[in-house]
Chain A
Amino acid sequence: MKANNSVLQELNLSDNQLVDKNLEDLAQVFKCERKLSLTTLNLASNPKCKPMAFATLMSSLVNNNSVPISRLVLNNNDLEVSKKTHS
């Protein structure tokens, strides 16, 4: 995945049947791109994605001044790691 639109401000991927790989690719883009204009990222209602994939994506935003996301929407996803499956 390569971002080639430096003026993209809002990315709405809600209810898109995304899987973990899609979030990992997005995280990779955020880490590698020198400058994006993205201010809104909506990933609501993608229940196939696991909490760790969301964690990877969020970690790519930490200390990353190249991606100025001011609005992050993760509604209707399961973010709490299940202790049962985690152990």
Chain B
Amino acid sequence: MAKAFIGVLSCSKFLTQLSLANCGIGKDIMLAIGEGLFKNNKLQQLNVRGNRIKLNGIKEFVRSCFQNSKLALKSIDFSQNQLCDESGYLLCKGLKFINGLETINFRSNTLAEESGDILSILVKENRSLLKINLELNLIKPQVLSEIEKQCKQNRLDQEKL
């Protein structure tokens, strides 16, 4: 199964949306998705909502964010997984390098202070970010408010263009 994901993401010239919600995905497949994205320049939407993804599965995804400058992701949905604060922090370090990213869904994980802090920086640096869903996490309301405010500003700036 892992090889199939690596193959389809590395080689497909057409795939722009991949939806894998509630598929029981854990470490192995998530590592394969990350590895497949290393050479991918087509995928725009990745939905892995409601799986079992945690820190040990996101390493390759983050590496692809760092090293694949042609990554075309616009929307990622990691909601309802098992992402801890460290996972969120690591993911955001990678997401910083995806230029056209517009929406992030981290709803219902256990992201906390470090993730909140880096997200508030990310949304200021990456002005393409228009919506970040952080409901049902452990991030302070004040930080959530700052992030939402900046997203709103980014949307206004986009409308002006």
User: For residues 53 through 87 of chain A, which have their beta carbon under 8 Å from a beta carbon of chain B?
Assistant: 54-56, 58-59, 61-63, 65, 67-81
Contact of A75 among B8, B23, B29 (CB under 8 A): B23
A79 lies within 8 A of B7 (CB): no
A74→B20 contact, CB < 8 A: yes
Q: Which of B10-18, B108-116, B135-143, B145-153 contacts A (4 or more CB under 8 A)?
A: B10-18
A11 within 8 A of B: no
Given A79-B24, A79-B29 in contact, is the A70-B1 Cβ separation under 8 Å? no
Contact flag A71-B16 (CB < 8 Å), given A78-B23, A80-B29: yes
Give the residues in chain B near A78, CB-CB below 8 Å.
23-24
* Chain B CB within 10 Å, residue with most, of A39, A52, A78, A80: A80
Chain B residues numbered 65-95 whose CB sits less than 8 Å from any CB in chain A: none
Within 8 Å by CB of B19, from A54, A63, A72, A80, lies A72
- Given A65-B13, A72-B15, are A58 and B7 neighbors across the interface (CB < 8 Å)? yes
B91 to chain A, nearest CB (A): 20
Is B104 in the interface zone, CB < 8 Å from A? no
* Chain B interface residue bracket vs A: 20 to 34
Task: Using CB atoms and an 8 Å cutoff, list the residues of chain B in contact with chain A.
Answer: 1, 3-5, 7-8, 11-26, 28-29, 47, 52
Chain A residues at the B interface, C-beta cutoff of 8 Å: 39, 44, 51-52, 54-56, 58-59, 61-63, 65, 67-81
19 contacts between A and B (CB under 8 A): A39-B14, A55-B1, A58-B5, A61-B8, A61-B12, A65-B13, A67-B14, A68-B13, A70-B14, A70-B15, A72-B18, A73-B17, A74-B20, A74-B23, A75-B47, A77-B23, A79-B20, A80-B28, A81-B28
